[in-house]
Structure 1
Amino acid sequence: MFGPHNLQPPRGATHAKKRVGRGNSSGHGTYAGRGLKGQRSRSGKKLAYDAFEGGQFPTSRKFHVLRGFNNKWRVPFQPVNLGALQRFDDDTTVTPELLESVGILKHLREPVKILSEGEFTRKLTVTAHGFSAAAKARIEAVGGTAVVIGADQSESGATA
């Protein structure tokens, strides 16, 4: 009779526990599966971690010197220059969605930062996740507004 109440693993899938240090006739005698000599064959304190290299300068400590540093908290922005916004008419509200629809952005997975490169004379309301100081100054100099997504309205430069 089959059912969930009498399931068992197939024959050969399970093995008896290895009983080391129980004499030669156990199959794990003499050295008890530890090999011959060396630090790992001795009794006493176990090694601190799996990557221990016998006192040699550990590879994990070398890598940050040899291979550079990657900041795991870095937020990758998609840069957009002010020159690319010149194509929009005055009094347009420029959002990341609009930038994606006209092909300036490839996707909306990463935040957008506006940089000040290029010619810019349009009076626009630009909404983005970040602005360089020079870009924000240039937008406001021509009468536009720079709105930071996710910030309080008092911080973004927009008036309430």
Structure 2
Amino acid sequence: MTDKQKEFLQLAVIDRLTYSEIEKRMEISRSEFAPWWDELKDKRTYLTSIRDKWLKKCKEVDFKDFRNWHESTDKKCYYCEISEKEIEHLWNKHPQLTKRNRGRKLEIERLEPNLPYSNVSNLVYSCYWCNNAKTDTFTKEEFLEVGKVIKGIWKNRLR
């Protein structure tokens, strides 16, 4: 991928500029960059998924910092260690895990609830159940103990 294509994806996906705005900003014609939308579909889809997580909870953080955090963080619950693949398996096996719409994906959780989402060193991934149960009541250390119990339950249900 060229530097111009990276810039295009940043402007189109992250900054959400119109093609007219991109044309002005990049100083290239629309006919040159318009085909990139389809050509870069996989990269665009990947960036969109990160952007959506960023916008939902962490838009005060610079996108590049958030992306680095996302790409370097294990995609499993910090407390019970369940992965998204295991969560998907649980949902398939037990479709009534929760009546809510949450629970099918890992969520962004703050280890210390009084610190803002803008502090990326305070962020981890958590499953819905651990995130919901931890609330603002338990410390990270206290809830790691609870996570061990939840981990045992998931192991039994995943058999």
Which bracket does the TM-score occupy, shorter chain normalised?
under 0.3
Higher helix proportion = 2
Higher relative contact order (CA 8 A, sep 6+): 2
TM-score normalised by L of structure 2: 0.23
Larger Rg: 1
TM-score normalised by L of structure 1: 0.22
Higher strand proportion = 1
